[in-house]
Amino acid sequence: MSGRINAAGGVLWRRGDSGALEVAVVHRPRYDDWSLPKGKLHRGETTCAAAVREVAEETGFRAVLGAHLSRVAYTVPAGDKVVDYFAARAVSGAFAVNDEVDALRWLGVADAAPVLTHPADRGVLARFTAVGPDATTVLLVRHAHAGKKELWAGPDDERPLSKTGERQTRALTRLLPLFHPDRVHAVPKLRCTATVAPLAGLLGLSLTTEPALAEPSHKRHPARAAARLLAIAAAGGTPVVCSQGGVIPDVVAELSRGTDVPTDSRCRKGSVWVLSFTKGRKPRLVGAHYLAP
């Protein structure tokens, strides 16, 4: 019986000795094609983890994820295949012939496009060019599950994570390092700081509090949350920002206004919006991808 097959991959890139941008294309002898590295998810694996693993298995390079580039869907004999592609910066490693790939070529983007066998891969590469390899990616997290407000007798700011929330936090602490975050921000409420504090500790980062991204402030000053997130993006790098359900959908909608980036109001507890921006003092949203908890 056919069904959906989930897969993930990446546009693996680096700066060559001259500083020029290069991307990796791989040859698969089984299909006799040149493609971008990709492969099927293992059971229980996230798309992000699968993208990093598949890039490593096929190319030999450890990669750091950046912007989500594209979701490609097509039909294979076993069912409908859906592949999520991310920008993937090579940080270490070297290619060696393996069971799936017998050759790898580092090429400039213009040279790589005609080498790729499949039009869908060329489309992903075009999207990579449009987003840019050095886009700033902000990981906008909704705090993990904290139980029911009416069952907590203490101050709402001090409502702790539930057992489900603790599991979600552990999952986030495994997921978010795949993007190599360099800053961690959170609304000054225990359920928000507790969601990302383990990540900050793991990475040796301090935690910056963000009152402008809290629900009470957002209700009083609706424009400030989006402005603050843009300021965080303007500082560059890969920040993690933990906020609340009454803020995130409004901010994502505001940031996407006037762009061609599709977004929606999804915002479950423990979820992440991968938001990518142009670099500079006035960043503009160029990519948005929702990761369910």
Residue 1: is its pLDDT beyond 50? Answer: no
Mean pLDDT of the chain: 96
What does pTM read for this prediction? 0.95
Looking at CATH, the fold of the domain delimited by 3-131 is given as Nucleoside Triphosphate Pyrophosphohydrolase (3.90.79)
* C-alpha torsion sign, points 22, 66, 113, 58: positive
pLDDT in tens, 88-99: 999 999 999 999
Domain ranges within the chain, ordered by starting residue = 3-131, 136-291
Q: Kindly give the pairing relationship between strand 3-15 and strand 21-28.
A: antiparallel
Task: Count CA within 13 A, CB hemisphere, residue 249.
Answer: 8
Decide which of 79 and 22 is more confident: 22
Query: Can you give the pLDDT at residue 253?
Result: 97
Q: Are 135 and 89 in contact (CB under 8 A)?
A: no
Q: Which alpha helices (DSSP H) does the chain contain, by range? A: 47-59, 109-115, 119-131, 163-175, 190-203, 215-220, 222-234, 248-256
pLDDT in tens, 115-161: 999 999 999 999 999 999 989 999 999 999 998 888 787 888 999 99
Residue 197: is its pLDDT beyond 70? Answer: yes
pLDDT band at 79 (very low <50, low <70, confident <90, very high): confident
CATH of 136-291, one of 3.90.870.10, 3.40.50.1240, 3.40.50.720, 3.40.50.1820: 3.40.50.1240
Least confident stretch, 71-85, 115-129, 244-258: 71-85
pLDDT in tens, 26-53: 999 999 999 999 999 999 999 999 999 9
